[in-house]
Structure 1
Amino acid sequence: MSGGEAAAGVRAEGAVTVRVPAKVNVQLAVGAARPDGFHDLANVFLAVGLHDEITVTPADELRVTCAGPDAHQVPLDATNLAARAAIALAERHGIEPRVHIHIDKDIPVAGGMAGGSADGAGALLACDALWSLGSTEAELLAICAELGSDVPFSLLGGAALGVGRGERLTPLDVGGTFHWVFAVADGGLSTPAVYAEFDRLTAAADVPPPAADPALLAALSAGDATALAATLTNDLQPAALSLRPSLATTLATGTAAGALAALVSGSGPTTAFLTKDEESAAAVAEALLASGNCRTARVTSAPAAGARVIS
C-alpha cells in the first residue's frame, strides 16, 4: 500500500489494521556465542498462515490492548514490541506516539513462532500508514532490525535466509505450497534460556560457523516437501528438549501419525510437522490432539505473505 492509499484510508476510517504472519524456521543453524552475547545464525525463515492482526487508532497517549488465545501472557506496557515499534517510528519523525494499539492474537504466545516480532512489524506498518509517513520498505526494515532479530522477516514474509543475528535477509524462492501442523504446548519457553542451554550443551564442542544448506534451499525452490523434510534442522532443538523433555513425545507422536518430518519451532515449545498434503496434515493434527501431549494443533500452509494493510 502506498503512502497515499494509507493516508486516504486513515482519513476515511481513523484506524488501520495490518495482518502479519507467524514463521517456522526450516533451518536454524547457530554459531558459538559472540562477545556481545548474541550468536551468528543461518536462519531460513518460512512464513506460515497463522496471523495476528494489529489495529491502530489515534489516542491521547500510547496504549496497548490484546485479545485472543493466551492474551493474558502478552505484556501491555512499553516492553511490548508493538509499543516499541510505535515509539521508534515516532521518534524518527519527531512526533508523539499517541496511538492505541490493539493486538488480535492468533499466533501462539511464547511459542517459537515469532508472535511478538510479528506484532512489532505489524504495528510499525500500521502506524506508518496511520500517520501518513510513507516510509520506504528499507526504512521500515532498518527499524525492524533495531527492534529484534526476527522482526524484519515478519515484515517481509514469504521465505528468506537471515544471517548475522538473523536480521540481514535475502529473499528465497518457494516453488510450491507446504502443509504444516503446529502443536502448541502448555506454557512457553524463554528464548534467552534456550540459547543459554545451547551454550551449556556446546561448551566443550567446536561449533562450526553457521551456513545455509544448499539442499534445503533447492527443496524450497522446487516445492518438494519430501526433499525439504530430509533437510529440516534446528540447532536449538537439543536445548529446547533438555529444558522441556516432554516435547520429544510430541515429536514422536506426529511422526508416527504420518508427518514427513518434525522439529521444534525456533526456540520452542511449539513443535512443527511437515506433511505431504492437506489430508495428511489433518490426520497428524487429529493424532496430536488425541494424544493429550499438546494443548492444541493448528493446520496451515506456507508460504504466507508478510505484513499487509488490510483495512
Structure 2
Amino acid sequence: MATMAAASSHLFYNNGISSKFNKSSITLKQSSFYHKNCRNFRTHLVVKASSSDNNDTKNGRKQEELVYNLDEKLNRLADEVDMNAGLSRLSLFSPCKINVFLRITNKRPDGFHDLASLFHVISLGDKIKFSLSPSKTTDRLSTNVPGIPLDERNLIIKALNLYRKKTGSDKFFWVHVDKKVPTGAGLGGGSSNAATALWAANQFSGCLATEQELQEWSGEIGSDVPFFFSNGAAYCTGRGEVVQDIPSPVPFDLPMVLIKPPEACSTAEVYKRFRLDVSSTADPLALLEKISKNGISQDVCINDLEPPAFEVLPSLKRLKQRIVAAGRGKYDAVFMSGSGSTIVGVGSADPPQFLYDEEDYKDVFLSEANFITRTENQWYQEPSSSNTTSFVDQSSYAA
C-alpha cells in the first residue's frame, strides 16, 4: 500500500462493479477529509459471485458465494490512517464571549483590578485554518481583513510560541483567520483566537498537554484566554484568569443582538477612569444565583465598566439609551460587554429600526447570536444557524 502522508484520504469507487471483485475499483487519494468521509459513508456495497443451491459444478469448478463488505473495509482503512499518519490540516471555530454581568471588586497592588463576572461563549466567531508548515523556524499568518498584526503582536503567534516553549514541539504553522468578530469590542475575540491556537497546536502534537495545562499556560497570554478552556459558561474571578466551570444558567435558544459602533474603547483608558467608590455594591454570587433561578433581566446585567466607558466614548452611552427606548421592552436586558464597545440586547435578535434608517449608524456592526457551550474533550462547534449581518467598515477589525 502506498504511504499515506496525511491524516485522511478521499474515497473514490467504481460504480460499475462486476460480479468479480476488482482490486482497482477502490483508490485512496491523499486528502484531509478521508477519515470523515469514510465514517460518514453509509452505503454498503456487497459483491457476490453466483452460487447454486445444490453446489453443482460448472466446467469442473465449484461455484462459491463471495461477499465483500465495503463499509467494513473503509473503517479498517480509516483506522490504519489514524494510527500511521499525523494531522496535517485542521479548521476550527473560534467563538467570542459576552459578560452577562461584570463586577469590579477591588484594586490590586500590582495595578490590576479584581473582578467577578459571568462569562459565556456565544455563537459569533472566527474560523481559523491551521496547516503544518515545512518551515522549522517561523509561522505564517494571514487574515481576510487589513489592519491586524500578523507578527508576534498577534495573540495567535504568541500562543504558538508559548506552546513550543512549554512542550518542546518543533512544529510551525500556516494559519489563516476568517474574521467575523470585530476587535475593540469587549467580546474577547483575540483571546479566543489564542486559546484556539493552543488547542490546535496540541492536536497536531498528539495532545502532549492536558486541557488543564493549556488553561494554566494560557494565562501568560492574557487574562481572558483561560476562560475559553472552560465548558463555555464560567464564573471568573481574579483578573479573569480564575475560572470556575458552571452549568449554563441561560437557555441556548435565547436570542440576542450585538451592536458595535466603529469606535473602540481603550481598555486601559476605561480602567483608568474607573472609580471603585461609585461602582455597584451588588454581590456577584447573588447575581449569579438570581440568573440561575430567574433568567436574564436588566437588574442583574450590571457592568461596572459602563460608566467609565461612557466617559471615554459618550456616543456609546447615547447608543445604549436609544436601543433601550426603541426596543420598547422587547429586550430582557441591554448592557455593554466587557470594556466595550459592544452593546448587547438579550431577548430578541432584531436590531432597532433606527440603526438601518439613520446615516450616523451606517457603519455599525450587527450580529445575532445565541449562547453555546462545548462538549468535553472537543473544541467549540459553529452552530449551523449562525448568522452575521455586518454594516461595518474595516476599521472595526483593526488591532
Q: TM-score, normalised by structure 1?
A: 0.84
Match of 1:268 among 327, 340, 345: 340
Q: Which runs of 5 or more residues in structure 1 are unaligned?
A: none
Question: Match for 2:270 among 188, 191, 194?
Answer: 194
Q: Indicate conservation of the 8 Å contact 1:20/1:154, yes or no.
A: no
Alignment length, in residue pairs? 291
Structure 2 stretches of 5 or more lacking a match? 1-78, 383-399
- State the AA in 2 paired with 1:47: V
Deviations 1:261-299 (A, max 9, x none): 211111111111112xxxx322x3544333444612211
Q: Secondary structure at the match of 2:300?
A: coil
Higher Rg of the two aligned structures: 2
**Residues 107-186 of structure 1: matches in 2 within 5 Å?**
107-173=181-247, 174-177=249-252, 178-186=254-262
Task: Please state if 1:224 is matched with 2:291.
Answer: no
In structure 2, relative to structure 1, the CA distance for the partners of 1:21 and 1:222 (3 Å cut) is farther
Letter in 2 for 1:182: L
**Structure 1 or 2: more helix by fraction:** 1
Q: 1:223 to 1:207 in 2, by over 3 A?
A: closer
Once the two structures are superposed, the pairs formed by residues 2-81 of structure 1 within 5 Å of their partners are: 8=82, 11=85, 14-59=88-133, 60=135, 61-67=138-144, 71-81=145-155
Q: Which has the higher contact order (CA 8 A, sep 6+)?
A: 1
In 2, the alpha carbon distance for the partners of 1:28 and 1:120 equals 22
Residues 91, 211 of structure 1: alpha-carbon distance in 2 compared, 3 angstrom cutoff: farther
Identity across the alignment (%) = 28
Amino acid at match of 2:346: L
For residues 282 and 92 of structure 2, the distance between their equivalents in structure 1, rounded to whole angstroms, comes to: 33
Question: Is 2:375 the counterpart of 1:308?
Answer: no
* Partner residue of 2:176 out of 88, 102, 105: 102
Q: 1:296 to 1:208 in 2, by over 3 A?
A: closer
Q: Which amino acid aligns with 1:269?
A: S
Distance 1:183 1:192 in 2: 22
Deviates more, 1:172-181 or 1:51-60: 172-181
Whether the 8 Å contact between 2:106 and 2:115 is mirrored in structure 1 is no
Aligned to 1:238: 307
- Which residue identity does 1:54 align to in structure 2? I
Cα contact 1:288–1:297 (8 A) shared by 2: no
Q: How far apart in 2 are the matches of 1:65 and 1:301?
A: 28
Residue 209 of structure 1 deviates from its aligned partner by: 8.6
CA distance 1:197–1:130, shift in 2 (3 Å): same
RMSD in angstroms over aligned alpha carbons?
Answer: 2.7
- Relative to structure 1, the CA distance from residue 129 to residue 114 in structure 2 (aligned partners, 3 Å threshold; closer, same or farther) is same
**Given the superposition, is the C-alpha separation of residues 56 and 95 from structure 1 closer, same or farther in structure 2, using an over 3 Å criterion?**
same
Superposed CA offset, 1:59-105 (max 9, x none): 212122112xxx32321111211111111111111133521222111
CA deviation profile, 1:126-150 (whole Å, cap 9, x unmatched): 1111222342110111111221111
